[in-house]
C-alpha cells in the first residue's frame, strides 16, 4: 500500500544511511564511499535549509549506529558535519576555494582530534608513537625525535585535508548541479519495504547503553591488569546473559583483530615493553568488543529508540527535532539491501573510469533520494527498566573497585 510522501529530507537521509554504513563496514576507502551520502545531505540543506540538512545528517548517523553499533563511527563523521554546511554555501553561490577551506578546516580538526586520541590514549603517549616512527626511519638511516614525528604527522594531516576536501567539494558541486530540478515534487509514492522483525534482547536498551558507557569510561581511565581482567569478566557475563544478536559479531571480531594488531605493533616498535604493549592491546580490544556488545545486546530497534528519546530530551537545540522526525521516517533495515541492488544496477555496464562511475553514482543518489517513501509508522516500543536491568548497570561499575 502506498504511503504519503515524507518530509523531503527523509530521502537524502536514507541515501546517507546506506552510504555511511558501507563506509564504516569497508576496511579501507571509507571516504570515497561516504561521498554519495554527503551529496544527498548537501542537497537537503541546499533546498530545505541548514536545520533540515543537519537533522538529516544526525538521523543518518544515528541510524548507522542502530544497525552497526558505534564502532568506526568517525569514518563518515567529517562528511556528515560538513555536507549540510557545503550545501548551504552552494545555495549562496560561495566560491569553490572558500568551500574547500571551510571543509578542510573541519576535516583537519576532526583528524587532529582522532590522531591525538590514538597517540595519547590508545598507543600510550608520544614516546611510543615517536618510537615507532624512529624505528621505521632508522632502517633507512634517518633519525626522528618526538618533534619530528609530530611534524610528519601534521604534514600528513594537512596534505590529506587539502586533497580530500578538494575532492569532496568538487564531487558535491557536480552532484548538486546535475540534480534533476523538480524531481522531489514529481516522484510517485512507492510501497514500503518491510524489514526483518526487530530482535528484542533481554535487557532494557537504555540500561545497556548506560552500562556500555560505564565500561568505556573505565577502560579509558586505566590499563591496570586488575581493571582489564574485571572488565573482561563483566563483558563475558553480559554476553552470556543478554540474549544478544549474533549479527554484529563477525564484523566486531574482525575490527578487534585489526585494531589490536595495530596497537600491538605501535607499542612494541615504540619500545614500551611487552607488558605495556599487551595491556594497551587488551584495552583496545575490549573497547571494540564493548561497542560490539552494545549493538548486539540492545538491538537495532533498541538503539534506535534510545536515540529518539535522547533527541527528544534536547529538542530545544537546533536541528534535533528535525533529526528525531527524520530518524522515525528512515528506520527500515529491509530497504538498505534494495538500495544497494539499485546502485549495482546503476553501475552495470558503466565504463570503469572515474568520471563515468562518479556520474552513475550521483544519478543513483538523486533517484534513490526522490523515490524513497517512509513505511507505516510503528509505535515506539514500551521500555520498562526492571531489577535485572539495574543489576546489569551496577555490575558494569564493579570493575572500578580494581582501581582502588
pLDDT tens digits, one per residue of 218-238: 999 999 999 999 999 999 999
Q: Give dist(CA 393, CA 241) in Å, integer.
A: 13
Instruction: Answer whether residue 270 is part of any domain.
Output: no
If one counts the domains in the chain, the total is 1
Non-local CB neighbours of 123 within 8 Å, separated by 6+ positions: 129, 132, 263, 266, 267, 270, 280
Cα separation, 21 vs 14, in Å, equals 11
How far apart CA 116 and CA 168 sit, in angstroms, is 24
The predicted pLDDT at position 189 comes to: 40
Per the document, the length of the chain is 404
Is residue 256 in a domain? Answer: no
Mean pLDDT across 193-215: 78
Question: Where do we find the cell 600528513?
Answer: 156
Position 121 in a domain: yes
CA atoms 395, 398, 400, 403: torsion sign: negative
Q: Evaluate whether residue 68 is within a structural domain.
A: yes
Strand residue runs (E) in 34-178 = none
For range 27-52, the mean pLDDT: 95
List the grid coordinates of 321.
Answer: 527535532
Residue-wise pLDDT tens digits, 106-160? 999 999 999 999 888 888 778 778 777 767 666 766 777 788 888 989 999 999 9
| Closest by CA position to 55, among listed 10, 94, 111 | 10
Closest CA to 363 of 171, 179, 168, 183: 179
The mean pLDDT value for 98-104 works out to: 98
CA–CA distance, 331 with 374 (Å, rounded to integer): 9
> Does residue 305 carry a pLDDT above 70?
yes
Q: 366 lies in a domain? A: yes
Q: How far apart are CA 63 and CA 57, in angstroms?
A: 10
Give the structural domain span for 188: 10-200+303-386
The answer to the question of residue 375 being in a domain is: yes
pLDDT, position 135: 72
β partners of residue 191: 2
Q: Is residue 77 part of a domain?
A: yes
**240 located within any domain:** no
| Residue whose C-alpha is closest to residue 122's, from 296, 292, 294, 270 | 270
Rounded Cα gap, residues 291 and 68, in angstroms? 10
Contact 8, 55 (CB under 8 A): no
Q: Rounded to an integer, what is the distance from CA 347 to the centroid of its chain?
A: 25
Amino acid at each position: 500500500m502506498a504511503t504519503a510522501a515524507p518530509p523531503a529530507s527523509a530521502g537524502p537521509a536514507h541515501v546517507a544511511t546506506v552510504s555511511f554504513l558501507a563506509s564504516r563496514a569497508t576496511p579501507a576507502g571509507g571516504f570515497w564511499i561516504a561521498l554519495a551520502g554527503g551529496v544527498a545531505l548537501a542537497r537537503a540543506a541546499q533546498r530545505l535549509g541548514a536545520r533540515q540538512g543537519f537533522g538529516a545528517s544526525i538521523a543518518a548517523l544515528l541510524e548507522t549506529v542502530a544497525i552497526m553499533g558505534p564502532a568506526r563511527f568517525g569514518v563518515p563523521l567529517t562528511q556528515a558535519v560538513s555536507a549540510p554546511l557545503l550545501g548551504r554555501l552552494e545555495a549562496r553561490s560561495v566560491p569553490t576555494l572558500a568551500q574547500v577551506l571551510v571543509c578542510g578546516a573541519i576535516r583537519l580538526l576532526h583528524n587532529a582530534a582522532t590522531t591525538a586520541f590514538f597517540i595519547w590514549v590508545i598507543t600510550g603517549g608520544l614516546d611510543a608513537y615517536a618510537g615507532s616512527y624512529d624505528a621505521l626511519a632508522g632502517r633507512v638511516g634517518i633519525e626522528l625525535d618526538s618533534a619530528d614525528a609530530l611534524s610528519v604527522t601534521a604534514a600528513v594531516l594537512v596534505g590529506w585535508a587539502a586533497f580530500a576536501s578538494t575532492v569532496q567539494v568538487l564531487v558535491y558541486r557536480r552532484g548538486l548541479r546535475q540534480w534533476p530540478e523538480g524531481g522531489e515534487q514529481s516522484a510517485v509514492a512507492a510501497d514500503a519495504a518491510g524489514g526483518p522483525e526487530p530482535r528484542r534482547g533481554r535487557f532494557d536498551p537504555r540500561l545497556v547503553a548506560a552500562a556500555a558507557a560505564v565500561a568505556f569510561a573505565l577502560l579509558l581511565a586505566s590499563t591496570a591488569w586488575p581493571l582489564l581482567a574485571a572488565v573482561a569478566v563483566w563483558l563475558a557475563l553480559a554476553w552470556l546473559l543478554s540474549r544478544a544478536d549474533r549479527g554484529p559479531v563477525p564484523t566486531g571480531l574482525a575490527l578487534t583483530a585489526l585494531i589490536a594488531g595495530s596497537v600491538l605493533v605501535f607499542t612494541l616498535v615504540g619500545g614500551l615493553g611487552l607488558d605495556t604493549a599487551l595491556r594497551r592491546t587488551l584495552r583496545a580490544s575490549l573497547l571494540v568488543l564493548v561497542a560490539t556488545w552494545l549493538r548486539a545486546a540492545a538491538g537495532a530497534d533498541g538503539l534506535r529508540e534510545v536515540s529518539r528519546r535522547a533527541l527528544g530530551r534536547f529538542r530545544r537545540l537546533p536541528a534535533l527535532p528535525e533529526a528525531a522526525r527524520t530518524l522515525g521516517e528512515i528506520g527500515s533495515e529491509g530497504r538498505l539491501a534494495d538500495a544497494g541492488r539499485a546502485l549495482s544496477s546503476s553501475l552495470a555496464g558503466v565504463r570503469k573510469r572515474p568520471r563515468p562511475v562518479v556520474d552513475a553514482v550521483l544519478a543513483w543518489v538523486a533517484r534513490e533520494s526522490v523515490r524513497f517513501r517512509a513505511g507505516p509508522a510503528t509505535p515506539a516500543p514500551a521500555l520498562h527498566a526492571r531489577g535485572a536491568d539495574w543489576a546489569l548497570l551496577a555490575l558494569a561499575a564493579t570493575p572500578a573497585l580494581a582501581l582502588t
